[in-house]
């Protein structure tokens, strides 16, 4: 049996730890079968090929939650680069949880997503759901609450370009730079951005979506890990993007609107100016 899980753009501008959307490319593929012991082989990007792999962590978590003693033999084709900001650990986690769900006949979505979040906890120290939830549904997703797990969804379908520079920023590090408190005016601005963005998506107003892709919770503090951010954003906007932001905790960035292939080229050139190579994914939002 085989499962494909797509990359995701978590946060999607102002929705820190709340918003996310599935995108068409890149993706992970997991083949699996029931076995007497745990085994995982990995092709593609370099991730642990043992029980530390988030696919194994999440699959084990689901077996434990279901009170079953089952192991899996897995083959992971790792298409999403780890520590990229494109939901790499979340995709493998969800693939592992879905594989175990298939083997055990588990259909409870919340249980599957909870198990996948355990993979996230193992990878970054935080069991955030804004990658595994949009990876599961594909839609634009809003995590209304974690406990109990409540998700709201808006089906979307628009062009997006994700640009992944050849640098790594582990989510754990990108979370360490965040302050415990933020100024009230930033919180107010983020509420305005996030609430307006949800309406803009619902109304399919991509120009407004682009304009609202800002963030005052994480981005101001994370920019110091991404010295190229402002230059890349300027290049995207000059090439006609409606908006630009960081994907998840970075370093990947994304843009919407206009000719996304052309925008991807412009952003890639901006990175070249810093001597950084990139992978460019011209793809669709609303896939999972």
Minimum gap (Å) between residue 236 Cβ and ligand HSE:
20
The DSSP bridge partners found for residue 152 are 142
Beta bridge partners of 150: 145
Pick 63 or 113: Cβ nearer ligand HSE = 113
Which two three-digit tokens encode residue 259?
A: 């000719």
CA distances from 271 to 59, 71, 167, 225, 267 (A): 38, 44, 11, 14, 6
Of residues 113 and 174, the one with the C-beta less far from ligand HSE? 174
Active site residue 120: yes
Residue written as tokens 């052309």? 262
Q: How far is the CB of 20 from ligand HSE (least distance, A)?
A: 8
Closest residue to ligand HSE, based on beta-carbon distance: 248
Residue number, 93 or 171, with CB nearest to ligand HSE = 171
Range 65-70, long-range pairs (CB < 8 A, 24+ positions): 65/111, 65/114, 65/115, 66/104, 66/106, 66/111, 68/104, 70/34, 70/100, 70/103, 70/104
Would you give the end-to-end CA distance of the chain in angstroms? 18
Helices (H) and strands (E) in the chain, counts: 10, 10
d(CA 63, CA 58): 9
Q: How far is the CB of 95 from ligand HSE (least distance, A)?
A: 16
- Among 171, 238, 277, 283, the active-site one is 171
Q: Given 118, 120, 141, 283, which residue is catalytic?
A: 120
Q: Which residues contribute to the site for ligand HSE (CB under 6 A)?
A: 10-11, 16-17, 85, 128, 130-131, 171, 174-175, 218, 248-249
Active site residue 54: no
Find the shortest distance in angstroms from Cβ 259 to ligand HSE. Answer: 27
Give the DSSP letter of residue 51: T
Q: How far apart are CA 111 and CA 36, in angstroms?
A: 23
- Choose between 245 and 283: whose C-beta lies nearer to ligand HSE: 245
CB of 230 to ligand HSE, least distance (A): 19
**Cβ closer to ligand HSE: 58 or 218?**
218
Which amino acids are annotated catalytic? 120, 171
């Amino acid at each position: 049996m085989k499962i494909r899980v797509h990359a995701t753009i978590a946060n999607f501008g102002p929705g820190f730890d709340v918003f996310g959307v599935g995108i068409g490319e890149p993706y992970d593929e997991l083949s699996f079968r029931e076995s007497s012991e745990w085994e995982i082989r990995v092709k593609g990007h370099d991730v642990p090929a043992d029980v530390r792999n988030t696919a194994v962590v999440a699959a084990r978590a689901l077996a434990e939650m279901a009170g079953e003693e089952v192991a899996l033999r897995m083959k992971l084709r790792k298409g999403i680069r780890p520590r990229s900001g494109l939901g790499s650990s979340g995709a493998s986690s969800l693939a592992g949880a879905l594989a175990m769900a298939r083997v055990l006949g588990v259909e409870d979505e919340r249980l599957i997503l909870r198990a996948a979040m355990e993979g996230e906890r193992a990878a970054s120290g935080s069991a955030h759901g804004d990658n595994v939830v949009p990876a599961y549904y594909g839609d634009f997703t809003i995590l209304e609450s974690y406990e109990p797990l409540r998700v709201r969804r808006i089906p979307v379908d628009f062009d997006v370009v994700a640009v992944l520079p050849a640098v790594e920023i582990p989510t754990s590090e990108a979370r360490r730079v965040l302050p415990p408190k933020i100024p009230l005016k930033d919180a107010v601005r983020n509420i305005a951005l996030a609430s307006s963005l949800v309406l803009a998506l619902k109304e399919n107003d991509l120009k407004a979506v682009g304009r609202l892709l800002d963030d005052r919770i994480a981005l101001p503090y994370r920019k110091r890990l991404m010295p190229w951010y402002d230059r890349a954003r300027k290049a995207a906007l000059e090439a006609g993007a409606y908006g630009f932001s960081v994907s998840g905790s970075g370093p990947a960035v994304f843009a919407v609107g206009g000719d996304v292939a052309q925008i991807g080229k412009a952003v890639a050139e901006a990175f070249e100016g810093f001597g950084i190579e990139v992978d460019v994914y011209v793809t669709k939002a609303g896939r999972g």
